[in-house]
A and B are shown apart, each in its own frame.
Chain A
Amino acid sequence: MARHPESPDEIYAREEEPDEGWRRPPPVEGASLRAVVGEWSRKNLFSSIPNTILTVLCAWLLWETLLPLTQWGLLDAVWQTDDSAVCRAAEHGACWAFIANKYRFILFGLFPYDEQWRPLVAIALFVAALAVSCVPSFWRPWLVVLWLGVMVACGVLMWGGVFGLRFVENGRWGGLPLTLILAVVGIVCSFPLAIALALGRRSNLPAVRAICVGFIEFVRGVPLISVLFMASVMFPLFLPEGFTIDKLLRAQVGIILFTAAYLAEAVRGGLQAVPRGQSEAADALGLSYWRKTGLVILPQALKTSIPAIVNQFISMFKDTSLVIIIGLFDLLSTAKAALSDPPWRPFYVEAYLFAALIYWIFCFFMSRYSQFIERRFETGHRRS
């Protein structure tokens, strides 16, 4: 029998089809809800004895965990109070009042309280720019201009000092804006470096290739934390006497170098997926290396590597939380710092859940987006 090459999706679609489909009676018109539910649960929950045992076990576990969790998080929770004693009195309930009291600090850190609309607008700008960049038909040169504009606007908003805005040095930045800045600036700046590294890794020039492979494999072999340590303690030694850069910039450079190595591998995967004929055709047309790369190879390669790039962005977004270890004040640090207020110390679960929720929302939507792009571009470029 001829076997057809199948994509995972097709296999999945077949997997969901019940094997005993032919034995099932045809659906009755206007079957009662009970019959439908009964049929469904027989098929999906109680199809065999081991399956029934699994279902019961699972349901029992869910019952045992979800019930106390709802009790704790919703029914017994304290929602609004300025007095932590009220929260401590409600022993078996969550203290969401802690979040209500501290959310400005967790979100914006030590940014001057009256000026916190500025980081808020900056976050909104970043998120809007990210949303716009997600639409494939907007991938035009003006998007680069838009991003530059957004960066400048955010810089103005965060630093101030012009247009009558008070100057805020970046030591006082913190919370979500800092996390977003580290992640977005990290990805934007590491992207050109990553492309250069990926091209260099596939170059015909042995010296260039060796340097690129060396850098990529070295960075990928060490933990981010050691790169951040290096950035925080060794960068000052690297620079000439009397020349200093601040902690935020140092961490940012570390993150950029680290991300570039991983991103280069994502781009390399895309480069490898471009059929050899494309490069040969460009050679036959007499295009120079740079025109061939810029006009023929890279557009195709980047398109295929978008899901990998987005995944890299997600992991970098999560990894920015590591800057807490070198003393920067990102979202995770502010959540932890909010707990150091003695009356509110016991409510660490609420603090971590709040920070986790913010991280989760960003990462979840990005991962959904990566899946969407993967499906959208799965047109004809896969070899069957």
Chain B
Amino acid sequence: MGAGATGSGKAGPPRRAAGPAAGAWWNDRRVRAVFYQILVIGGVLLLVWFLVANTLDNLNQRNIATGFGFLHREAGFDISERLIDYTPADTYLRALVVGLLNTMLVSVLGVILATILGTIVGIARLSRNWLVAKVASFYVEIVRNIPVLLQLFFWYSMITEALPSPRQALNPLPGVFFSNRGMRFPVPEADPAWTYVAVAFLVGVGATWVFARWARAYQNRTGRIPPTLSVALGLILGLPLITYLAAGAPTAMNMPELRGFNFSGGTTVTPEFTALLLGLVVYTASYIAEIVRGGILAVSHGQTEAGLALGLHRGAVLRLIVLPQALRVIIPPLTSQYLNLTKNSSLAVAIGFPDLVSAANTTINQTGQAVEGIAIIMAIYLTVSLSISAVMNWYNRRIALQGAR
């Protein structure tokens, strides 16, 4: 204080933000800035060095090997659910990949389902129907305020304890069984026709995308709206159907059957997977519902009125006018919910679903290489988080107002 007055006389042309200028060199802001930064970096480096040195010391004393060599050793533990082939004779690396794929499966399905449920609930909360709005807000208020882990335990117990044993399995549809060992349902027998159908489906999706682009350009040019919906349905559903019929329409199904104490045949969805997916979707949807509601409320009511005045019906107003504008408000918080869901999928370890954390945890327990194991978990989650952020940021920029920054 007061130093400014003494300094300004000698400083020549007054410099902005120079503070008490022309004092001793240690009063120079830039010198101080460099000094502080050196201090901070030095402190952080010292801390890191202290931790690393201690860790290496401790590891040496306990005779724990370091490095990632263990990844190529035989894992020796089984994983009940897997998207790729895996046996206990495979390496730790493969076990981790199996876990990662399981994490991705749950996350992708969870994000899709939670978005659908959350959007429905969010719109329902704004409904003019009193009963619907109240039911939706009860759902949100109850689910949001209970820890997701507790909800996972609850669903898992419900599935494993409340459902009957395989012998008395519920059989809502022929070939579909619900029991405490999971859901069993029939799958078609392997047949080359199914590959063709899948290819046809992908071709249909691609063709629809091309058609939609053309349709938009056509509408911009002429003002006429091509029948996009029926053409899209025809391409996406019709093309695979024609392929299926042309390939001989195989009908052989692999039906689940009760053999002894469990089912064989068909495919199964385990209680762990169901509980995890259900818990994550129900919990995250309650947050997404609030985000959707906030986004819709942020769109001025004048927009709705203007849409109605143009003669659009309420559904069209919501779809064509309100939602596109609301999306701009919705996307950033929605991104962080997607990230939360992905990170929360790591709670799988608590109910025994073999996700990445669970596989890494077993690896750590067997090899004792905690540092490497946790580093792997963190690196993978960081990569996944940053990728989701990048994709959502790209999408956010795409839908941002033209001309806005």
Interface of A is mostly: helix
* B145 with A367: CB separation less than 8 A: yes
Interface assignment of A236: CB less than 8 Å from any CB of chain B: yes
Say how far A121's CB is from chain B's closest CB, in angstroms: 25
Given A218-B382, A230-B374, does the pair A348, B161 have CB atoms closer than 8 Å? yes
Q: Is the CB of B37 within 8 A of A208?
A: yes
A321 x B149 contact (CB < 8 A): yes
| Number of interface residues, chain A, beta carbon within 8 A | 63
CA distance A376 to B357 in the complex (A): 43
Give a binary string over B147-163; 1 marks a CB under 8 Å from any A CB, 0 the rest. Answer: 11110011001100100
Expressed in whole angstroms, the Cα–Cα distance for A240 and B55 within the complex equals 8
Q: Which residues of B contact A332 (CB under 8 A)?
A: 147, 149-150, 153
Q: Chain B 228-264, CB within 8 Å of chain A: the 1/0 string?
A: 0000000000000000000000000000000000000
Bound: A51/B371 CA distance, A: 58
Identify which of B91-99, B124-132, B196-204 touches chain A.
B124-132
**Residue interface mask B337-348, A partner, CB < 8 A = 1:** 001000110110
Question: A128 within 8 Å of B by Cβ?
Answer: no
A58 contacts which chain B residues (CB < 8 A)?
Answer: 129, 131-132, 135
Q: Least Cβ distance of A126 to chain B in Å?
A: 18
> Quick one: given A6-B300, A11-B301, are A237 and B146 in contact (CB under 8 Å)?
no
Most chain A beta-carbon neighbours within 10 Å: one of B51, B129, B357: B129
Determine the residue in chain B with the shortest Cβ distance to A200. Answer: B40
Select B55's contact among A8, A238, A322, beta carbons within 8 Å: A238
Of chain B, the residue at the smallest CB distance from A208 is B40
Closest-by-CB residue of B relative to A57 is B132
Complex Cα distance A226/B346, Å?
Answer: 8
Known contacts: A8-B297, A208-B40, A318-B146. The answer to whether A241 contacts B61 by CB under 8 A is: yes
Find out whether the CB atom of A222 lies under 8 angstroms from the CB atom of B377. yes
| Cβ contacts under 8 Å, A355 to chain B | 150
Q: Using a Cβ–Cβ cut-off of 8 Å, how many residues does chain B contribute to the interface with A?
A: 63
Closest A residue to B308 using CB positions: A19
| B89 lies within 8 A of chain A by Cβ | no
**A3-B300, A208-B36 as given contacts; A364 in contact with B382, CB under 8 Å:** no
In the bound complex, CA of A59 to CA of B161 (Å): 29
**Is there contact, CB below 8 Å, between A59 and B131?**
yes
Q: Give the one of B135, B148, B149, B158 with max A CB within 10 A.
A: B149
A61 (CB) vs chain B CBs: closest residue? B135
On chain A, the residues within 8 Å of B364 by CB distance are: 229, 233
| In the complex, A15 has a CB within 8 A of chain B | yes
| A55 at the binding interface (Cβ < 8 Å) | yes
Specify which chain B residues have a CB less than 8 angstroms from the CB of A314 in the assembled complex: 145
Q: Given A208-B40, A325-B349, list of 16 further CB < 8 A pairs? A: A6-B300, A44-B130, A54-B129, A61-B135, A204-B33, A208-B37, A211-B44, A221-B339, A222-B343, A223-B344, A225-B346, A229-B374, A237-B59, A286-B4, A322-B347, A352-B154
